[in-house]
Structure 1
């Protein structure tokens, strides 16, 4: 008996012994040698693991391993296999959605580039995630899909700490070039069945623990044709170290800017972060060397490259302790320029059809007036949904000279259906950049199916540049009031969404308006496509200022989809010499110039005070305590916080306090191109994605199901109910419109005392050549840090108006609108274009429209009276 008791105690002790808790904490592009290492004396597993960078209290558990799924419909079986010894993790790139999958259904897709050597090897994919405590594991799952083939899924159960899962990728699934990688979640609430409770559901992907697992001996990028395979860092950004000589001249910096843009565009990197300095170590990012071969002495060893007597651009493969390098060189200055020109000529992208589809939608699908596109080409999959709130989202990029006003409607032609028995407030809601644009009540008690149900989206809701459109289906039933959470595991289908849904744009007015920081931040206008070379005014060539300018220029190129050839000047260019971008600390600018450009320099100096001349270290160089590291990791994951925007210590203190109570912080509110034959995304059925060639016609299947229900039409009572629902919806829309107006007014109040960076735009003349954009900060170090935060896709999309202030403490942008924007003609004014511009202007100035209508009516009445009095025979 005593032996049995001792054996039981020993077994319990062994089961409760914690596994080694080590994971990569979240940080920015700081050098690895500056990072804090916490040593934990615990038993280590026999199987080798990925090497941690910053262990933390809220670390990832020992990775679960799921073997490759040979067929999309099969469950993950077979014994797990260990991660390759000494493997490295190739992280996902950052995007506009970030790493948060919210609601009952969510997904995000990335175009991932692999080399031919990588595609031929045994690969694994690792996912680290943290979920809201309200997620019910028994009815929630996370699914990995590569090139529309389901690799595996796992229950969502990581509510206390990050959990990591490793999936084996079957041979042949990934192809050389771009591949589509999709992470999707299906989540249900533990205790609440209301529609509002679905907003509490979220799963946060930990980017430091997520990515493609590559063997340690993988050669990485060895050819310029494989620049897309450059490894991003843990925040999803691509660090580019510009290795410039001492006292670099403007011509050298200009060349570096063009090369950095070419790298960012070739790899579809949405967040390139450039800094200047000596060659950097570490695994992630790239070192960039641009210049004549004779100038590289002491910076890079080119002895193995052979004689350089012609324009050359090549890759220096990564080595232990050294990033991969890209060298653009030649024997003379003219040869260097020719080598850069060759680098800028990008070859046609290669990869799987699904990967090419995903890369074409980077950072959004470029759509012009008079065109239409099916949502399957934007990465949206068909879905049979059993929950209460369905969501699908996609990004489109409008032309930079698109005139946004209510002179027409884009049509969202819905294909899908809904089941019988939905609640009276069931509806489809379409949002554009988080603003409700249109809603459709689902009125038929017997359900309905449709293949072409047009929803009009007013063009005034769209804007030049990047737009994110979300489709929501609110499909509650009366049974939800009883709330049996376990019933979610066997719930009936409520909503059908088909990837045949398409968006169609009418002819659009084409004339630009300036100032407008939104079209610059999300479209690169007016610098991209400018006649002549746009100017980059840099009064100081400090290394931090050069890095900040290069980061912003690369971001503009990504937004425009093409490189921008800036000319660096050290004196303010005159009127009409070209659109100008100015990047420097505040004190580097002349006060008279700032006043002329409507920059509130005095207000900023008063707010920033001692920071103007402070020689402060970058936040990335400050050591944090182990508890602060853990708190920062937890804070970033729970709040979907952009990692390039440092979490300040006061926020860390709040997070530490919350953690001591064990509570989970709530989430925040939320020319014609060549045609590519994209593969359809496929269809999700039962939580798995089926191949398109084997799927049945979902529309017919749903139509048959509704016929079998045998519901008869609704009568007078049903029609009264519909009228009541319609009236309530109109009142709700009016209330939301009022709230949006007050919120926009509050957001326009700029608070410079909390700003880390200020961005202003003005136009001094009547053409695009007279546009000035200024980016400034208290000092050069802050300018570099804040620029890295600014180009995070989740931050840059909020830049708008004439003056924008970035507050890094919460990654928020406060903006003030332009008082009187000016029109800039970008193309010949045809009659059709003038008609659309006039209609749009009238829609934005209803008072003028009403006044003109009254004037026309008065003139008509007066002319009629005159005619009746002076025409015809007099009766006298």
Structure 2
């Protein structure tokens, strides 16, 4: 027994000794967490160098990266070893770190100057400075472009918003959809301050190239169940805090011209094309520069291109900006370091990464002027999509999706093709909208109707008196009253007069207001009901009729559609002074027109207009306008004195409401508006006040208003006098003026002016907003920056210009519209024709008839 027990005890003791040796000392209170364990060999020390198979991490001069083993954090040095981090930069032949030097270490020299420093990239995504989602349902859709590097890296989206206080958080949602997948669906619950919501984007969802994004708001009122209360619901998306945030270490490298759309926008929805060119006053540089910026804007498909021209490098480019360096290769040596030697021998168009920035630089150069023209032509080789231009598709993807179709005549558009899907609705006011483009020679503003064939259904809970309203360009066009309870409507016809349509982009809104007994009672929690009451089917359609097509001069609506009055010959662009500010304003003007037309403008540039020029555009500040030009475009000469004498009032956008992080426009009071009103506005207001005094004047005024509202007849339309445009005087508060006029001896002249050269460049950048630019029409427009709107002066005196081949049918349509606009002349023509018919019948019967 003892012989068996002794070996067992010896084995158990040996096993316990081994376990004690393998465990660390439990009472070791060393100062460093990496202290050697008890029982370990004291000669083993941690080595800072990597194995021989891999180079040391300290020699990677491209910046730290979070991925990979070389970017692992190192232990913090002890106070007594403050110079320890310098040791890895000194490598001895044996691989043992040498003692740290006493002198300060030299900064690392970047051996690859065109490689950016890796940093977190943030990309604004809103195409506008502010975006408001209003009503119970609202949505905005557009596209954004990513490079291959951005699409392959991890990303998240951050959205900042603020909503009305009456929005019920329990029943209101803000949803963001990217490439068909919902990435954010959050309650709307921030009525006091901007709230930021961040959501990760699934890997693989983003793709290189174009990506689709849609923002949707579903809102319900806290206490009120009426239709009018739905107009109090809104959610403002803040552009400063709405962005794509990419993972640390992600890069943004523009590898080719195909990546130009990935420049993106800044926090105001602007894409800045900053052109650096030497001696821009030279015609050789000026003309090529203004042609180049149009091609870049087209190639990049920018929603709001703004041009900045400078003669020296301003430094790194901010977000939403691309730097373009243009000129002869010999002149660029002092402007841009690292210009390739190949530019001295051949045309060069090359993308370069800015040092120490995520911005990019486009170099366009060559040894001679012909080579520079060849380099510019390389950019414009793929800017025009001939198929889209022939089909009339307007490229609006960067700020409105789907792209807008054009109606050239009789055509039917399904709601599904216009971007309206089948929608089931449980609220009180359903609103949906779409856009439609009309050609610049559209002439049917006084006659004709478009037809909406409505496919819808509504439950028996919907009461008679509910209505369908259709707005065209924010003006009520027609109203349909629902008279039955519960029905399925198939191709119900709704007529839309064409008088509210215009050439260029048109916005059509369909609003359905629903009345129910439950909403009349408005019991607590009634607004939370999700029982559907109405459904709008995407099989509904809009049928446009055949309309007259003929051009008018003057007509600024042609400019907003991307056309000049006379396109048979190049339009002459004259700059008051060939300095960077005026060239910047001219570049923004032409780039905006090119984006509307989908092709570069056919222009020529000159220091002064000649008598042979059929179409001239003059761009300059008001103090640079030559004598006689204001009279030529029928603008009051008082403008030369009024603008310099009237100080420009500060922009109220700096005044903030409720939150310091969010800007709201504050409406000015009546005294402010009257103090800055134009002479024509004041005269009209006083005339109206005197006209309505007395019983007879009030009766006549009421009849006149009724005739104008019911039959679109006014006193001016019943006059035989030739309509003449009086000199236009813009409001004193305006900051930008565009006016156009045609004279038989001088052709069509267009004036673009502002108070100063600086204001001209800034206000032209403001007018480049696609929604504001689409409102340019009439014979003159004045920009009011305080209310962000245009005052449009209508056309009274104009000449017709043939734009289509001669056709009896088109001539009949043009004559019908002209006679509808000139009622008295039409009536006199009919009387004269009746007299001729009666006289001819009398003479014929007198000679052929038998006397009784």
Q: Normalising by structure 2, what TM-score?
A: 0.74
Residue 483 of structure 1: which of 522, 537, 540 is its match? 522
Residue 605 of structure 2: which of 568, 571, 589 is its match? 568
Q: Do residues 121 (structure 1) and 153 (structure 2) align?
A: yes
Matched with 1:301 is 337
Q: Do residues 603 (structure 1) and 639 (structure 2) align?
A: yes
The structure-2 alpha-carbon separation of the partners of 1:734 and 1:104, relative to structure 1 and needing over 3 Å to count, comes to farther
Cα-to-partner distance string for 1:753-774 (whole Å, 9 max, x where unaligned): 21111211111239xx922211
Matches within 5 A, 1:674-823: 737=709, 751-765=730-744, 770-823=747-800
Matched with 2:567 is 530
Matched with 1:422 is 462
Matched with 1:58 is none
Secondary structure, in 3 states, of the residue corresponding to 2:294? helix
Matched with 1:200 is 232
Secondary structure, in 3 states, of the residue corresponding to 1:152? strand
Q: Do residues 469 (structure 1) and 508 (structure 2) align?
A: yes
Q: Do residues 331 (structure 1) and 367 (structure 2) align?
A: yes
**1:421 and 1:447 in contact (8 A); partners too:** no
The structure-2 alpha-carbon separation of the partners of 1:156 and 1:750, relative to structure 1 and needing over 3 Å to count, comes to farther
Matched with 1:187 is 219
Secondary structure, in 3 states, of the residue corresponding to 2:781? strand
Matched with 1:169 is 201
In 2, Cα distance between the equivalents of 1:378 and 1:789? 28
The structure-2 alpha-carbon separation of the partners of 1:427 and 1:301, relative to structure 1 and needing over 3 Å to count, comes to same
Secondary structure, in 3 states, of the residue corresponding to 1:299? coil
Secondary structure, in 3 states, of the residue corresponding to 1:366? coil
Unaligned runs of 5+ in 1: 1-84, 350-354, 642-646, 652-730
Secondary structure, in 3 states, of the residue corresponding to 1:805? strand
In 1, Cα distance between the equivalents of 2:593 and 2:654? 34
**2:551 and 2:803 in contact (8 A); partners too:** yes
Secondary structure, in 3 states, of the residue corresponding to 1:99? strand
Deviation at 1:392, TM superposition (A): 1.0
Q: Do residues 270 (structure 1) and 247 (structure 2) align?
A: no
In 1, Cα distance between the equivalents of 2:339 and 2:754? 42
Q: Do residues 500 (structure 1) and 539 (structure 2) align?
A: yes
The structure-2 alpha-carbon separation of the partners of 1:429 and 1:180, relative to structure 1 and needing over 3 Å to count, comes to same
Secondary structure, in 3 states, of the residue corresponding to 1:300? coil
**1:193 and 1:485 in contact (8 A); partners too:** no
The structure-2 alpha-carbon separation of the partners of 1:322 and 1:780, relative to structure 1 and needing over 3 Å to count, comes to farther
Comparing 779-788 and 453-462, the one that deviates more: 453-462
The structure-2 alpha-carbon separation of the partners of 1:272 and 1:438, relative to structure 1 and needing over 3 Å to count, comes to same
Higher relative contact order (CA 8 A, sep 6+): 1
Residue 404 of structure 2: which of 359, 364, 370 is its match? 364
Deviation at 1:582, TM superposition (A): 1.2
**1:604 and 1:753 in contact (8 A); partners too:** no
In 2, Cα distance between the equivalents of 1:633 and 1:139? 24
In 2, Cα distance between the equivalents of 1:173 and 1:404? 46
Matched with 2:172 is 140
The structure-2 alpha-carbon separation of the partners of 1:516 and 1:497, relative to structure 1 and needing over 3 Å to count, comes to same
**1:241 and 1:276 in contact (8 A); partners too:** yes
Unaligned runs of 5+ in 2: 1-117, 386-393, 673-702, 718-726
Deviation at 1:342, TM superposition (A): 2.0
**1:288 and 1:327 in contact (8 A); partners too:** yes
Cα-to-partner distance string for 1:187-234 (whole Å, 9 max, x where unaligned): 111121111111111111111111322345322423101111112111
Secondary structure, in 3 states, of the residue corresponding to 1:209? strand
Q: Do residues 544 (structure 1) and 581 (structure 2) align?
A: yes
Comparing 471-480 and 844-853, the one that deviates more: 844-853
Matched with 1:844 is 821
Cα-to-partner distance string for 1:750-800 (whole Å, 9 max, x where unaligned): 65321111211111239xx92221111121111112112222234323332
**2:504 and 2:774 in contact (8 A); partners too:** no
Comparing 858-867 and 111-120, the one that deviates more: 858-867
Matched with 1:379 is 419
Matched with 2:313 is 279
Deviation at 1:160, TM superposition (A): 0.5
Matched with 1:556 is 593
**1:545 and 1:783 in contact (8 A); partners too:** yes
Secondary structure, in 3 states, of the residue corresponding to 1:369? coil
In 2, Cα distance between the equivalents of 1:250 and 1:632? 51
Residue 446 of structure 1: which of 486, 503, 511 is its match? 486
**2:273 and 2:305 in contact (8 A); partners too:** yes
The structure-2 alpha-carbon separation of the partners of 1:786 and 1:363, relative to structure 1 and needing over 3 Å to count, comes to farther
Matched with 2:255 is 222
In 2, Cα distance between the equivalents of 1:632 and 1:798? 31
Deviation at 1:105, TM superposition (A): 0.8
Residue 151 of structure 1: which of 183, 190, 211 is its match? 183
In 1, Cα distance between the equivalents of 2:378 and 2:775? 35
The structure-2 alpha-carbon separation of the partners of 1:573 and 1:137, relative to structure 1 and needing over 3 Å to count, comes to farther
Secondary structure, in 3 states, of the residue corresponding to 2:582? helix
The structure-2 alpha-carbon separation of the partners of 1:852 and 1:236, relative to structure 1 and needing over 3 Å to count, comes to same
Q: Do residues 111 (structure 1) and 143 (structure 2) align?
A: yes
**Of the two, which has the highest radius of gyration?**
2
In 2, Cα distance between the equivalents of 1:635 and 1:839? 55
**1:100 and 1:640 in contact (8 A); partners too:** no
Secondary structure, in 3 states, of the residue corresponding to 1:173? coil
The structure-2 alpha-carbon separation of the partners of 1:326 and 1:367, relative to structure 1 and needing over 3 Å to count, comes to farther
In 2, Cα distance between the equivalents of 1:500 and 1:319? 54
Residue 342 of structure 1: which of 375, 378, 385 is its match? 378
In 2, Cα distance between the equivalents of 1:776 and 1:362? 34
Matches within 5 A, 1:23-62: none
Matched with 1:232 is 265
Matched with 2:122 is 89
